[in-house]
Amino acid sequence: MDTKEGVLMQRYELGKMIGHGNFAKVYHGRNLETGMSVAIKIIDKSKVMKAGMMTQIKREISAMKLVKHPHIIQLHEVMASKTKIYFVLEYAKGGELFDKLIKGKLKEDAARKYFQQLISAIGFCHSRGVYHRDLKPENLLLDDEGNLKVSDFGLSALDETRRQDGLIYTSCGTPSYVAPEVINQKGYDGEKSDIWSCGVVLFVLLAGFLPFHDSNLMEMYRKITMGKFKFPNSFPNEAKSLVSKILDPNPETRVSIAEIMETPWFKTGLVSEPQRTNKMVSDNLGNQSDSFMSSSSEKTSDSTYSTVGTTDVLEKDGNLNAFDIISLSRGVNLSALFYRNAKDEKEVRFMSRQTRGAIVLKLEEIAKSWKLKMMKSNGVLLKMEGLEEGINGGLAIDCEIHEITANLHLIEVKRLGDDKFGFWEIVNEHIKPALFGVL
């Protein structure tokens, strides 16, 4: 047994659950020897291995071992049993910074303090070759004194992930916070993309809403790519200049962290803090992070790895697919736009990295195999309709193809007829596998 009467590994007392995803749960815990409060994330090892996420977990551990800083959640220890992986983390009693924004914007001094602490933490990460890649208020926690703590390095990248040109090519993050170069699926500089996300966070803190937001996903992407946004009248004038320099769509001319720290607005009220030494985390962390990799023979089940504060992420063959990138967003509500195969829904949307021509060709092949009549309209809207009504009613489907880039399309599939069983069978068994295949 991994736990006995609420005690983990005879070392930590488990308290109430403070967060959860589909495949991980986070509990408040107490070190039985020192009495120190901790957060304990419990991950199902078999599910992680089935999803091919062990490399990502090792990367997260490696990143957190490198970044000992006052404004970064610390990883105290990693333990493993035959069935579970346990992350013992610093406990942030104040919760998410996101919760403070529910009531609206922050006062300028409060926003500046959080931004100063954020930049201090991210600058240190970059000095250690760590790039967070998912900065947003949900991943910024607060301790019991109200100080900011950067958390969730599950999507982080290290210097070793860069190619020879010094760029990163794996797209990930939350759409409303990611830099234009990430959306455009070109190689990008991890430092510059993190800086952009910090700028979006600062805008949200001072404005109370996102700089880039639109009910149409593609229009939001266009705004991000163009760096098109408006300041509210209440936005502090000095901060406007800084945000404009950060939210520069050209990464080559985007302001650096060193330049941010030299601006008068940033330096106002700045409190210097002693830097933590980069002392290695518990030896148990290093030993266990290697040992839990060797259990590949264990029985597994199909699932994904999830971290508290971040929507489920699935990474296979080193690449996040576009659907998973979009589904990460809590900063902009996309829940009505993307469904995950709910049987009572009449539509589903997902992403494909195939060209429009290839998508249309495969849809035509599917229609032919199902003996459906295919009607097209400018290659954007395709309708499939059954020639005869079945026992469950008529089968009629609309497929819309929305171009984001030449090789990235949003596919929208709607059920028009009464045959919902046939609709979901053709979607799940034919359409999605055919178009998801290259993701």
**Domain boundaries along the sequence of the chain:** 95-267, 347-436
- Three-state DSSP at 178 gives coil
Question: What was the pLDDT predicted at 178?
Answer: 92
Alpha carbon distance 266, 113 (integer Å): 9
Q: Is the dihedral of CA 289, 291, 294, 299 positive or negative?
A: negative
pTM above 0.85, yes or no: no
Contacts of 330 (CB under 8 A, 6+ apart): 98, 136, 138, 174, 311
Q: Are 415 and 347 in contact (CB under 8 A)?
A: yes
Q: Give the residue from 323, 383, 19 showing the smallest Cα distance to 171.
A: 323
Q: Which of 44, 99, 134, 302 is catalytic?
A: 134
Relative to beta strand 37-44, strand 12-20 is: unpaired
Query: E strands, 93-243, where?
Result: 95-96, 130-131, 140-142, 148-150, 157-158
Q: Could you give the strand order of the β-sheet that contains 148-150, starting from the edge strand earlier in sequence?
A: 95-96, 140-142, 148-150
User: For residues 216 and 2, what is the distance between their CA atoms, to the nearest angstrom?
Assistant: 47
- Tokens of residue 2, six digits: 């991994």
User: What residues form DSSP beta bridges with 30?
Assistant: 13, 37
Question: Cβ distance 299 to 305 under 8 Å?
Answer: no
Residue 309 has a pLDDT of 31
The question of whether 302 is a catalytic residue gets the answer no
Tell me the CATH architecture of domain 347-436.
2-Layer Sandwich (3.30)
Binding-site residues for ATP sit at: 41
Inter-axis angle of helices 283-291 and 54-66, to 10 degrees? 170
Burial 80-100 (b: 16+ CB within 10 A, else e): bbeebbbbbbbbbebebbbeb
Matching CATH topology for 95-267 and 347-436?
no
The predicted pLDDT at position 345 comes to 66
Residue 108 CB-density burial (10 A; 0-12 exposed, 13-18 middle, 19+ buried)? middle
Q: Alpha-carbon dihedral of residues 46, 52, 58, 63, nearest 10 degrees?
A: -130
pLDDT at residue 203 in the model: 97
Residue at token pair 């699926």 = 185
Candidates 387, 394, 383; CA nearest to 419 is 394
Cα–Cα distance for residue pair 134/177, rounded to 1 Å: 8
- Rounded CA-CA distance 193/196 in Å is 5
CB 173 within 8 A of CB 182: yes
- Per-residue CA distances from 314 to 38, 217, 318, 362 (Å): 27, 21, 10, 25
Reference 363, options 401, 318, 317, 408; nearest CA is 401
Q: Provide the CATH number for the domain formed by 95-267 in this structure.
A: 1.10.510.10
Strand partners, 398: 383, 414
Rounded to 5 degrees, φ, ψ at 261 are -70, -15
For 95, 180, 358, the CA distances from 244, given in Å and listed in that order, are 29, 14, 40
Taking 70 as the pLDDT cut, the residues of the chain under it are: 1-5, 21-23, 161, 164, 273-345, 378-380, 388-392, 404-407, 436-439
Residue type, 395: L
DSSP string spanning 5-48?
Answer: TTEETTTEEEEEEEEE-SSEEEEEEEETTT--EEEEEEEEHHHH
Query: What number of other Cβ atoms are within 10 A of residue 238's Cβ?
Result: 15
